[in-house]
Amino acid sequence: MPRTTLFRRLLQQRHLTTYAAFSARFERTAARLADLDGDPRLASVQVSARQFDRWYGGELQTLPRPDACRVLEHMLGRPVSELFSAVDDHDQQHDRDSQIPGRSPRVPGLHPTQPGWVLKRAADDENPLDIVARTQHLTTGNADETTLAFLHSSLEGITARYEVDGPHVLRPQTRHLRQLAHTLLDGRQPPGPRRELFRLAARASGLLGYMAVNTGDFALAEAYCTEARELSHAIGDLDTELWADGTLSFGLYYAGCYADADACAAAAVERAPRSAQTIRLLANGRARALAKLSRGQAAARAIGEALELSDLHDVPAGVTSCISFEPYGQARTLANAVTAHVSLGHANRVLSDARQIDDLVEHSDSAWSRSLVRLDVSTALLQQPSPDLEHAMTLGRQALALCGDAPIRSVWQRARDLYEQAMPWQEQPSVGEYGEEFRAWNSQPAALAMSHTRAM
């Protein structure tokens, strides 16, 4: 006589005593579990007729394979260790009693004489198995750790390669990553992965905003930066939000909206005056804009505060990537101070600060930084009481060569400004040579696009 197991009893109660009925229910459960777990391999789990006969007859020597065990537990609502255990007489009596109309099933583990026997389940109560399935559904999602790690490493790669490859090369990849993050956010995730997706989407938007500034599309930059600010604010990611504020200020500066650039950076500084991101807001945002507004003392204070914060946060000494989400390095901060002093006409300060960072700039990976410092020094050489025209024009030509066919808005703008400031000496050969090289460099499609920008 076959050994009576809980598995056999449950199948009898559910009218699944034939292989056809059982296998159909088993396959449906496997497909549902595969969908819930996001594991398509579960959908292919099957049970042969011979396996079914052995399970039903209680002839099992070892437990089924782990994937089959998972399906059985999901299908029958009991651990496999119990399913293939023999049932005693009380359980058999319970199985008979449960078929009697009006008789409530007893609570497992309670004898009929105990209080739990008389508990009844209301007609509108949920199935316990459905509750478990729903919980599993809510705690799984469409963005696993591998996907999040891919997005994170891809954005880090873009940041690391930016000053070599530039915005024109990297913008399509960044757009694709942003779209992927948005597509995933349209789906379902538990709170932790969803928060990380928000952060990654915000940073992708921020990078695109920075690229738009570098290509001179200020309206697009503003839109991307606004998106980055809103997404990061929604999850309380202050670092990314402040970085986006800094990039918005950066765009306003190159759009010529100096008062707005300073106001944007100042508001962000007020929210987090001791944050490492505030170094960038003070040096790149406030100091340069204040200098353009001829507010020399305020610009000097902003630079001083940025350097104090640099000491407080122990930032790198070198030239950090312009687009990095990490705090500004000290050399990057001093390079921004040089630009502010150029606007204020402080030629001596420009030359002394430039000498202080010269070695770090020259050994950095950033051709743009080397180009921009040369252009600032060139302008300062023309601002001296005794202008050094030859040296200024030589540095100007070097700056153009360093950027080659990868111009960005800041280099284009400063190279143009240098040419305009050299106009009083336009008859000199060195100025003429610089002018010819600038016109040839400016005829590139990427450079020509700089003169056709959309305002913020």
For the whole model, what pTM was predicted? 0.69
Side chain identity at residue 183, one-letter code: T
Average pLDDT over residues 399-416: 87
Residue 195's Cβ-side half-sphere holds a number of Cα atoms within 13 Å equal to 7
Total domains in the chain come to 2
- Better pLDDT: 257 or 104: 257
* Confidence check: pLDDT of 15 > 80: yes
286 within some domain? no
258 within some domain? no
403 within some domain? yes
Distance from C-alpha of 89 to C-alpha of 104, rounded to nearest angstrom: 18
Average pLDDT over residues 339-350: 94
- Better pLDDT: 105 or 328: 328
Q: What is the pLDDT of residue 454?
A: 53
Q: How confident is the model at residue 231 (pLDDT cuts 50, 70, 90)?
A: very high
Instruction: Tell me the pLDDT tens digit for each residue of 166-197.
Output: 898 999 999 999 999 999 999 888 999 999 99
Please state, for a pLDDT cut of 70, what percent of the chain lies above it. 86
Joined tokens for residue 152: 């994170």
Q: What is the dihedral of CA 274, 266, 416, 372, to 10 degrees?
A: 0
* Confidence check: pLDDT of 282 > 90: yes
Q: How confident is the model at residue 423 (pLDDT cuts 50, 70, 90)?
A: very high
Q: Give the rounded distance of the alpha carbon of 288 from its chain centre.
A: 28
266 within some domain? no
Q: What is the pLDDT of residue 95?
A: 47
Distance from C-alpha of 55 to C-alpha of 23, rounded to nearest angstrom: 13
Instruction: Tell me the pLDDT tens digit for each residue of 59-105.
Output: 877 778 888 888 898 888 888 878 888 876 454 544 444 444 444 34
Given 60, 78, 101, the domain boundary residue is: 101
Instruction: For residue 430, count CB atoms less than 10 angstroms from its CB and return exposed for 0-12, middle for 13-18, buried for 19 or more.
Output: middle
265 within some domain? no
How far is CA 170 from each of CA 106, 146, 215, 324, rounded to the nearest angstrom?
Answer: 66, 22, 12, 14
Distance from C-alpha of 226 to C-alpha of 205, rounded to nearest angstrom: 9
Range of the domain at 52: 1-101
3-state secondary structure the chain: CCCCEHHHHHHHHCCCCCHHHHHHHHHHHHHHHHHHHCCHHHHHCCCCHHHHHHHHCCCCCCCCCHHHHHHHHHHHCCCHHHHCCECCHHHHHHHHHCCCCCCCCCCCCCCCCCHHHHCCCCCCCCCHHHHHHHHHHHCCCCCCHHHHHHHHHHHHHHHHHHHHHHHHHHHHHHHHHHHHHHHHHCCCCCHHHHHHHHHHHHHHHHHHHHHHHHCCCHHHHHHHHHHHHHHHHHCCCHHHHHHHHHHHHHHHHHCCCHHHHHHHHHHHHHHCCCCCCHHHHHHHHHHHHHHHCCCHHHHHHHHHHHHHHHHHHCCCCCCCCCCCCCCCCHHHHHHHHHHHHHHHCCHHHHHHHHHHHHHHHHCCCCHHHHHHHHHHHHHHHHHCCCCCHHHHHHHHHHHHHHHCCCCCHHHHHHHHHHHHHCHHHCCCHHHHHHHHHHHHHHCCHHHHHHHCCCCC
Q: What is the pLDDT of residue 138?
A: 73
Token look-up 């284009």 returns 412
Given 101, 134, 164, the domain boundary residue is: 101
379 within some domain? yes
Given 75, 101, 127, the domain boundary residue is: 101
* Confidence check: pLDDT of 32 > 90: no
Distance from C-alpha of 67 to C-alpha of 45, rounded to nearest angstrom: 7
Q: What is the pLDDT of residue 97?
A: 44
* Rg of the chain (C-alpha set): 35
| Residues whose CB is less than 8 angstroms from the CB of residue 111 and which lie 6 or more positions away in sequence, other chains included | 90, 117
Average pLDDT over residues 345-368: 90
74 within some domain? yes
19 within some domain? yes
